[in-house]
Structure 1
Protein backbone atom coordinates (compact mmCIF):
# COMPACT_ATOMS: atom_id res chain seq x y z
CA UNK A 1 0.00 0.00 0.00
CA UNK A 2 1.24 3.48 -0.88
CA UNK A 3 0.53 6.20 1.67
CA UNK A 4 0.77 9.97 1.37
CA UNK A 5 0.16 12.82 3.78
CA UNK A 6 -0.13 16.62 3.66
CA UNK A 7 0.06 18.97 6.59
CA UNK A 8 -2.35 21.74 5.57
CA UNK A 9 -1.40 25.19 6.82
CA UNK A 10 -3.19 28.58 6.71
CA UNK A 11 -3.18 30.94 3.72
CA UNK A 12 -4.60 34.45 3.76
CA UNK A 13 -5.29 34.04 7.49
CA UNK A 14 -4.59 37.67 8.38
CA UNK A 15 -7.20 38.78 5.84
CA UNK A 16 -9.95 36.22 6.44
CA UNK A 17 -9.85 36.11 10.24
CA UNK A 18 -9.26 32.37 10.66
CA UNK A 19 -6.19 30.15 10.54
CA UNK A 20 -7.51 27.13 8.66
CA UNK A 21 -5.35 24.05 9.21
CA UNK A 22 -5.58 20.29 9.07
CA UNK A 23 -4.28 17.15 7.43
CA UNK A 24 -4.98 15.13 4.32
CA UNK A 25 -4.09 11.48 3.85
CA UNK A 26 -4.16 9.40 0.70
CA UNK A 27 -3.62 5.65 0.48
CA UNK A 28 -3.60 3.48 -2.62
CA UNK A 29 -4.58 -0.13 -1.98
CA UNK A 30 -5.28 -2.15 -5.10
CA UNK A 31 -7.97 -0.35 -7.09
CA UNK A 32 -8.98 1.97 -4.25
CA UNK A 33 -7.66 5.40 -3.43
CA UNK A 34 -8.75 6.25 0.09
CA UNK A 35 -8.79 9.97 0.85
CA UNK A 36 -9.34 11.51 4.26
CA UNK A 37 -9.07 15.17 5.11
CA UNK A 38 -9.87 16.96 8.34
CA UNK A 39 -9.89 20.72 8.75
CA UNK A 40 -10.09 23.03 11.74
CA UNK A 41 -10.64 26.79 12.08
CA UNK A 42 -12.01 27.28 8.58
CA UNK A 43 -14.66 29.94 7.99
CA UNK A 44 -17.74 28.48 9.67
CA UNK A 45 -20.88 27.34 7.86
CA UNK A 46 -19.21 27.72 4.46
CA UNK A 47 -18.78 25.12 1.72
CA UNK A 48 -15.07 24.54 1.17
CA UNK A 49 -13.81 23.50 -2.20
CA UNK A 50 -10.77 21.25 -1.83
CA UNK A 51 -8.53 19.89 -4.57
CA UNK A 52 -5.04 18.93 -5.33
CA UNK A 53 -3.16 21.12 -7.75
CA UNK A 54 -0.09 20.38 -9.83
CA UNK A 55 1.72 20.57 -13.13
CA UNK A 56 0.72 18.19 -15.95
CA UNK A 57 4.37 17.98 -17.07
CA UNK A 58 5.37 16.35 -13.77
CA UNK A 59 7.14 19.40 -12.31
CA UNK A 60 7.07 19.41 -8.52
CA UNK A 61 4.37 21.74 -7.15
CA UNK A 62 4.93 23.78 -4.00
CA UNK A 63 2.90 25.74 -1.48
CA UNK A 64 2.64 29.48 -2.18
CA UNK A 65 4.28 32.12 -0.03
CA UNK A 66 3.73 35.87 0.29
CA UNK A 67 5.91 36.27 -2.81
CA UNK A 68 3.01 34.97 -4.91
CA UNK A 69 0.98 38.10 -4.07
CA UNK A 70 2.22 39.73 -7.26
CA UNK A 71 -0.40 42.51 -7.29
CA UNK A 72 0.40 43.38 -3.64
CA UNK A 73 -3.23 43.47 -2.50
CA UNK A 74 -2.48 41.36 0.59
CA UNK A 75 -4.23 38.25 -0.75
CA UNK A 76 -2.79 35.18 -2.45
CA UNK A 77 -5.60 34.40 -4.86
CA UNK A 78 -6.16 31.33 -7.01
CA UNK A 79 -4.53 32.82 -10.11
CA UNK A 80 -1.44 33.85 -8.15
CA UNK A 81 -0.88 30.27 -6.92
CA UNK A 82 -0.54 28.83 -10.42
CA UNK A 83 3.19 29.62 -11.01
CA UNK A 84 4.23 27.52 -7.97
CA UNK A 85 1.35 25.06 -7.59
CA UNK A 86 0.09 24.54 -11.12
CA UNK A 87 -3.49 24.01 -12.11
CA UNK A 88 -6.47 22.55 -10.27
CA UNK A 89 -6.41 18.83 -10.98
CA UNK A 90 -8.64 16.60 -8.86
CA UNK A 91 -11.54 17.73 -6.68
CA UNK A 92 -11.97 16.23 -3.24
CA UNK A 93 -15.74 16.19 -3.56
CA UNK A 94 -18.50 13.59 -3.81
CA UNK A 95 -16.92 11.95 -6.90
CA UNK A 96 -13.21 12.80 -7.37
CA UNK A 97 -12.87 10.27 -10.22
CA UNK A 98 -15.31 12.30 -12.34
CA UNK A 99 -13.02 15.36 -12.08
CA UNK A 100 -15.86 17.87 -12.29
CA UNK A 101 -14.36 20.89 -10.50
CA UNK A 102 -17.17 23.45 -10.26
CA UNK A 103 -20.01 21.90 -8.27
CA UNK A 104 -21.80 22.08 -4.94
CA UNK A 105 -20.69 18.68 -3.62
CA UNK A 106 -17.86 19.79 -1.34
CA UNK A 107 -17.81 19.67 2.48
CA UNK A 108 -19.43 22.39 4.57
CA UNK A 109 -17.79 23.49 7.82
CA UNK A 110 -19.83 23.38 11.01
CA UNK A 111 -20.38 26.45 13.21
CA UNK A 112 -16.95 25.86 14.78
CA UNK A 113 -15.16 25.81 11.41
CA UNK A 114 -14.53 22.06 11.52
CA UNK A 115 -15.23 19.43 8.91
CA UNK A 116 -13.92 16.07 7.82
CA UNK A 117 -14.02 14.40 4.43
CA UNK A 118 -13.52 10.73 3.67
CA UNK A 119 -13.92 8.99 0.34
CA UNK A 120 -12.97 5.72 -1.34
CA UNK A 121 -12.31 6.43 -5.00
CA UNK A 122 -12.12 3.87 -7.85
CA UNK A 123 -8.42 4.33 -8.55
CA UNK A 124 -8.32 3.11 -12.15
CA UNK A 125 -11.28 5.33 -13.12
CA UNK A 126 -9.49 8.30 -11.59
CA UNK A 127 -6.22 7.45 -13.38
CA UNK A 128 -8.02 7.09 -16.73
CA UNK A 129 -9.85 10.40 -16.35
CA UNK A 130 -6.68 12.11 -15.11
CA UNK A 131 -4.64 10.90 -18.08
CA UNK A 132 -7.42 11.98 -20.45
CA UNK A 133 -7.59 15.45 -18.90
CA UNK A 134 -3.83 15.99 -18.62
CA UNK A 135 -2.40 14.42 -21.75
CA UNK A 136 -1.26 11.12 -20.33
CA UNK A 137 0.24 12.56 -17.15
CA UNK A 138 0.70 10.37 -14.10
CA UNK A 139 -1.12 11.10 -10.84
CA UNK A 140 2.21 11.61 -8.99
CA UNK A 141 0.60 12.51 -5.66
CA UNK A 142 3.94 13.44 -4.10
CA UNK A 143 4.33 16.22 -6.68
CA UNK A 144 0.98 17.83 -5.78
CA UNK A 145 -0.36 20.39 -3.31
CA UNK A 146 -3.72 20.12 -1.50
CA UNK A 147 -5.74 23.35 -1.39
CA UNK A 148 -8.77 24.28 0.66
CA UNK A 149 -10.78 27.26 -0.58
CA UNK A 150 -13.74 29.35 0.50
CA UNK A 151 -14.73 32.37 2.55
CA UNK A 152 -18.17 33.78 3.40
CA UNK A 153 -19.90 35.93 0.79
CA UNK A 154 -20.06 38.65 3.45
CA UNK A 155 -16.25 39.05 3.47
CA UNK A 156 -15.37 42.16 1.49
CA UNK A 157 -12.68 41.31 -1.04
CA UNK A 158 -10.86 43.90 -3.14
CA UNK A 159 -11.53 43.90 -6.89
CA UNK A 160 -7.94 42.75 -7.38
CA UNK A 161 -8.68 39.28 -5.96
CA UNK A 162 -8.98 36.99 -8.99
CA UNK A 163 -10.57 33.59 -9.27
CA UNK A 164 -14.10 33.99 -10.61
CA UNK A 165 -15.09 30.88 -12.55
CA UNK A 166 -18.54 31.88 -13.76
CA UNK A 167 -21.57 33.80 -12.49
CA UNK A 168 -22.22 31.14 -9.84
CA UNK A 169 -18.69 30.70 -8.42
CA UNK A 170 -16.77 33.85 -7.59
CA UNK A 171 -13.64 34.72 -5.63
CA UNK A 172 -15.34 33.92 -2.31
CA UNK A 173 -15.56 30.30 -3.42
CA UNK A 174 -12.06 30.03 -4.92
CA UNK A 175 -9.93 32.08 -2.51
CA UNK A 176 -7.36 29.69 -0.99
CA UNK A 177 -7.52 29.51 2.80
CA UNK A 178 -5.02 26.67 3.37
CA UNK A 179 -2.55 24.51 1.47
CA UNK A 180 -0.18 21.62 2.07
CA UNK A 181 2.42 19.71 0.08
CA UNK A 182 1.62 16.01 -0.35
CA UNK A 183 4.50 13.79 0.74
CA UNK A 184 4.94 10.05 0.34
CA UNK A 185 5.20 8.34 3.73
CA UNK A 186 5.32 4.64 2.72
CA UNK A 187 5.23 2.19 -0.18
Structure 2
Protein backbone atom coordinates (compact mmCIF):
# COMPACT_ATOMS: atom_id res chain seq x y z
CA UNK A 1 0.00 0.00 0.00
CA UNK A 2 1.44 3.36 -1.03
CA UNK A 3 2.03 6.09 1.53
CA UNK A 4 0.91 9.54 0.44
CA UNK A 5 1.86 12.95 1.81
CA UNK A 6 0.57 16.33 0.68
CA UNK A 7 1.29 20.00 1.26
CA UNK A 8 -0.80 23.06 0.52
CA UNK A 9 1.76 25.68 -0.47
CA UNK A 10 0.92 29.26 0.55
CA UNK A 11 2.60 32.60 -0.20
CA UNK A 12 5.44 34.05 1.85
CA UNK A 13 6.81 37.57 1.26
CA UNK A 14 3.99 38.16 -1.26
CA UNK A 15 3.49 41.83 -0.40
CA UNK A 16 7.18 42.49 -1.06
CA UNK A 17 7.62 40.46 -4.25
CA UNK A 18 4.44 41.61 -6.00
CA UNK A 19 2.86 38.19 -6.48
CA UNK A 20 1.33 35.50 -4.26
CA UNK A 21 2.85 32.13 -5.18
CA UNK A 22 0.73 29.14 -4.25
CA UNK A 23 0.31 25.51 -5.17
CA UNK A 24 0.40 21.96 -3.92
CA UNK A 25 2.87 19.13 -3.48
CA UNK A 26 2.29 15.39 -3.34
CA UNK A 27 4.80 12.76 -2.24
CA UNK A 28 3.84 9.13 -2.91
CA UNK A 29 6.06 6.37 -1.54
CA UNK A 30 5.35 3.09 -3.31
CA UNK A 31 7.80 0.29 -2.73
CA UNK A 32 11.30 1.35 -3.71
CA UNK A 33 10.30 4.69 -5.24
CA UNK A 34 9.00 8.08 -4.22
CA UNK A 35 7.01 10.08 -6.74
CA UNK A 36 7.15 13.84 -6.20
CA UNK A 37 4.67 16.20 -7.85
CA UNK A 38 4.72 19.96 -7.26
CA UNK A 39 2.39 22.34 -9.09
CA UNK A 40 2.99 26.07 -8.55
CA UNK A 41 1.07 29.14 -9.69
CA UNK A 42 1.73 32.90 -9.57
CA UNK A 43 5.45 32.53 -8.91
CA UNK A 44 7.76 35.19 -10.35
CA UNK A 45 7.69 34.48 -14.09
CA UNK A 46 10.65 33.23 -16.09
CA UNK A 47 12.68 32.61 -12.92
CA UNK A 48 14.30 29.39 -11.72
CA UNK A 49 12.76 28.32 -8.41
CA UNK A 50 14.77 26.37 -5.89
CA UNK A 51 12.50 24.05 -3.92
CA UNK A 52 13.31 21.75 -1.01
CA UNK A 53 11.97 20.19 2.09
CA UNK A 54 13.34 21.65 5.29
CA UNK A 55 13.36 20.15 8.76
CA UNK A 56 15.22 19.36 11.93
CA UNK A 57 17.71 16.45 11.89
CA UNK A 58 16.60 15.45 15.41
CA UNK A 59 13.03 14.83 14.19
CA UNK A 60 11.44 17.85 15.87
CA UNK A 61 8.39 18.85 13.79
CA UNK A 62 9.09 21.75 11.42
CA UNK A 63 6.56 24.56 11.09
CA UNK A 64 6.04 27.04 8.28
CA UNK A 65 7.52 30.51 8.60
CA UNK A 66 5.19 33.52 8.66
CA UNK A 67 5.74 37.27 8.81
CA UNK A 68 6.36 36.77 12.54
CA UNK A 69 9.79 35.30 11.66
CA UNK A 70 10.99 38.66 10.26
CA UNK A 71 13.48 39.03 13.15
CA UNK A 72 15.26 42.12 11.80
CA UNK A 73 12.08 43.98 10.82
CA UNK A 74 13.09 44.63 7.20
CA UNK A 75 9.73 43.39 5.86
CA UNK A 76 11.18 40.20 4.35
CA UNK A 77 11.37 36.72 5.83
CA UNK A 78 14.71 35.52 4.49
CA UNK A 79 16.22 32.03 4.52
CA UNK A 80 18.12 32.33 7.86
CA UNK A 81 14.97 33.71 9.54
CA UNK A 82 13.05 30.53 8.62
CA UNK A 83 15.51 28.21 10.38
CA UNK A 84 14.27 28.57 14.01
CA UNK A 85 10.80 27.25 13.04
CA UNK A 86 11.55 25.24 9.89
CA UNK A 87 15.00 23.79 10.40
CA UNK A 88 17.62 23.38 7.72
CA UNK A 89 17.43 22.73 3.99
CA UNK A 90 17.36 18.97 3.50
CA UNK A 91 16.29 17.48 0.16
CA UNK A 92 16.27 19.48 -3.08
CA UNK A 93 13.53 19.03 -5.67
CA UNK A 94 15.81 19.46 -8.65
CA UNK A 95 16.94 17.18 -11.49
CA UNK A 96 18.47 14.66 -9.06
CA UNK A 97 16.98 14.87 -5.53
CA UNK A 98 18.79 11.73 -4.31
CA UNK A 99 22.17 13.39 -4.90
CA UNK A 100 21.19 16.03 -2.29
CA UNK A 101 23.35 18.67 -3.97
CA UNK A 102 21.38 21.81 -3.03
CA UNK A 103 23.19 24.62 -4.88
CA UNK A 104 22.82 23.95 -8.60
CA UNK A 105 20.99 25.16 -11.70
CA UNK A 106 18.69 22.19 -12.33
CA UNK A 107 15.55 23.47 -10.57
CA UNK A 108 12.27 24.23 -12.39
CA UNK A 109 11.80 27.53 -14.23
CA UNK A 110 8.40 29.22 -14.18
CA UNK A 111 6.77 30.07 -17.49
CA UNK A 112 5.64 33.58 -18.52
CA UNK A 113 2.48 33.19 -16.38
CA UNK A 114 4.43 32.10 -13.28
CA UNK A 115 3.40 28.44 -13.50
CA UNK A 116 5.50 25.33 -13.35
CA UNK A 117 4.96 21.66 -12.62
CA UNK A 118 7.67 19.41 -11.24
CA UNK A 119 7.45 15.62 -11.51
CA UNK A 120 10.18 13.29 -10.39
CA UNK A 121 10.43 9.59 -9.61
CA UNK A 122 13.19 9.05 -7.03
CA UNK A 123 14.93 5.82 -5.98
CA UNK A 124 14.01 5.70 -2.29
CA UNK A 125 17.04 3.68 -1.14
CA UNK A 126 19.45 6.05 -2.92
CA UNK A 127 17.73 9.05 -1.30
CA UNK A 128 17.67 7.42 2.14
CA UNK A 129 21.38 6.56 1.89
CA UNK A 130 22.29 10.18 1.03
CA UNK A 131 19.91 11.48 3.71
CA UNK A 132 21.53 9.23 6.35
CA UNK A 133 25.02 10.41 5.33
CA UNK A 134 23.91 14.04 5.73
CA UNK A 135 21.61 13.83 8.76
CA UNK A 136 22.38 10.57 10.60
CA UNK A 137 19.10 8.79 9.89
CA UNK A 138 17.55 7.29 6.77
CA UNK A 139 14.02 8.13 7.97
CA UNK A 140 12.78 11.04 5.82
CA UNK A 141 9.94 11.75 8.31
CA UNK A 142 7.99 13.68 5.67
CA UNK A 143 5.17 14.45 8.11
CA UNK A 144 7.68 16.47 10.19
CA UNK A 145 8.92 18.56 7.25
CA UNK A 146 7.93 21.70 5.38
CA UNK A 147 8.42 22.52 1.70
CA UNK A 148 9.83 25.85 0.58
CA UNK A 149 9.79 27.46 -2.85
CA UNK A 150 12.47 30.12 -3.39
CA UNK A 151 13.47 32.69 -5.98
CA UNK A 152 12.75 36.21 -7.19
CA UNK A 153 14.03 38.12 -10.23
CA UNK A 154 17.47 39.75 -9.98
CA UNK A 155 15.71 43.04 -10.74
CA UNK A 156 13.77 42.99 -7.44
CA UNK A 157 15.38 45.48 -5.05
CA UNK A 158 16.24 43.69 -1.81
CA UNK A 159 17.52 45.55 1.24
CA UNK A 160 21.07 44.70 2.35
CA UNK A 161 19.53 43.10 5.45
CA UNK A 162 18.07 40.23 3.40
CA UNK A 163 20.41 37.31 3.98
CA UNK A 164 20.63 33.94 2.31
CA UNK A 165 23.65 33.83 0.04
CA UNK A 166 24.62 30.21 -0.67
CA UNK A 167 27.97 29.71 -2.38
CA UNK A 168 27.78 31.85 -5.54
CA UNK A 169 24.00 32.27 -5.36
CA UNK A 170 22.65 35.47 -3.80
CA UNK A 171 19.51 36.17 -1.78
CA UNK A 172 17.44 36.58 -4.98
CA UNK A 173 17.84 32.82 -5.52
CA UNK A 174 17.25 31.77 -1.89
CA UNK A 175 14.51 34.18 -0.78
CA UNK A 176 11.52 32.05 0.30
CA UNK A 177 8.38 32.89 -1.69
CA UNK A 178 6.03 30.07 -0.63
CA UNK A 179 5.85 27.41 2.05
CA UNK A 180 3.71 24.43 3.03
CA UNK A 181 3.51 21.93 5.89
CA UNK A 182 3.78 18.32 4.68
CA UNK A 183 1.08 16.09 6.15
CA UNK A 184 0.28 12.40 5.79
CA UNK A 185 -2.78 11.96 3.59
**Aligned-residue offset at 1:136:** 2.1
1:33-83 deviation digits (Å, cap 9, x = unpaired): 000000000000000000000000000000011111000000000000000
Matches within 5 A, 1:99-110: 99-110=100-111
Alignment match, 1:179: 179
Alignment match, 2:129: 128
1:91-111 deviation digits (Å, cap 9, x = unpaired): 000000000000000000000
Q: Contact 1:44 / 1:114 at 8 angstroms: preserved in 2?
A: yes
Please identify runs of 4+ aligned residues in structure 1 that moved more than 6 A.
none
Alignment match, 2:86: 85
**Aligned-residue offset at 1:112:** 0.3
Matches within 5 A, 1:18-57: 18-57=19-58
In structure 2, distance between residues paired with 1:67 and 1:27: 32
In structure 2, distance between residues paired with 1:66 and 1:152: 21
Task: Tell me the TM-score normalized by structure 1.
Answer: 0.97
Alignment match, 1:163: 164
**Aligned-residue offset at 1:138:** 1.8
Task: Tell me the TM-score normalized by structure 2.
Answer: 0.98
For residue 67 of structure 1, give the secondary structure of its aligned residue in structure 2.
Answer: helix
Structure 1 regions of 5+ residues with no counterpart? none
RMSD of Structure 2 on Structure 1 (CA): 0.6
For residue 34 of structure 2, give the secondary structure of its aligned residue in structure 1.
Answer: strand
In structure 2, distance between residues paired with 1:120 and 1:59: 27
Q: Contact 1:56 / 1:137 at 8 angstroms: preserved in 2?
A: no
Q: Contact 2:24 / 2:38 at 8 angstroms: preserved in 1?
A: yes
**Aligned-residue offset at 1:137:** 5.2
Q: Contact 2:129 / 2:138 at 8 angstroms: preserved in 1?
A: no
Q: Contact 1:57 / 1:137 at 8 angstroms: preserved in 2?
A: no
In structure 1, distance between residues paired with 2:179 and 2:150: 9
Q: What count of residue pairs does the alignment treat as equivalent? A: 184
Q: Contact 2:19 / 2:44 at 8 angstroms: preserved in 1?
A: yes
